[in-house]
Amino acid sequence: MSEPERLQKILARAGIASRRVVEEMIEDGRVVVNGEVAELGQRADPDVDAIEVDGVLVGVRPDTVWYLLNKPAGVVSTASDPQGRPTVVQLVPEEPRVFPVGRLDAETEGLLLLTNDGEVTHRLTHPSYGVEKEYLAHVEGTPARGALRRLREGVELEDGITAPATAAMVSPGVVRLVIHEGRNRQVRRMCEAIGHPVVRLVRTRIGPLVDTALGPGEWRPLRQDEVRALERAAVPTPPPT
């Protein structure tokens, strides 16, 4: 257990804002500690106390890490592989140990998160939280308007109809598809169902995260503001009224 510190020091170190701005946030009632609105000058222990800013839990534990990886084709989204194929975990630092957030199948490329934060991982992967994932699907042929409409309205698969998606043609044979479910090989199966099998599939966005500068196999740590944006995105979808 660490020694209690002033909140403005803890939150500034976590990258939320400068100490002066954090003090203003505390005065405005935007900071909550263990369910109670914080006061200026209050101390807290980041290893014990739950600290929230604008309703989002702040990840201030020093051992929590987040990596954004541009996964190449041929790499599997697991910590180990019995077939001896390269894994995403081998592309990032060995310590601390991290795990992929969800999966991309071996031949799918693009953005993948790895972390040791189990709570946020659950929220990012559970369909009830509705975190969007965007893909560029290079397909055989060029889908007609009716085929795109099926993607938008929901496609009947062997495990049930898909939720409505966003689908648009980017160029001939290339579809931008945004989904918020996480079924196995879902985008590939959706495109197969409309008669346009996938030739190449690239994930280009996870919730608010986009990075066109990462080359295949490259990774970088997330900034604190990006982690907070992910946490804000991973809120439960309200039930229909």
Selecting among 28, 47, 105, 225, the annotated active-site residue is 105
| Inter-residue contact 136 to 198 (CB < 8 Å) | no
> Comparing C-alpha atoms, which of 190, 216, 223, 214 is closest to residue 66?
223
Alpha-helix residue ranges (DSSP H) falling in the chain: 7-13, 19-27, 118-125, 145-153, 186-193, 224-233
Does the annotation count 45 as an active-site position? no
What residues act catalytically? 105
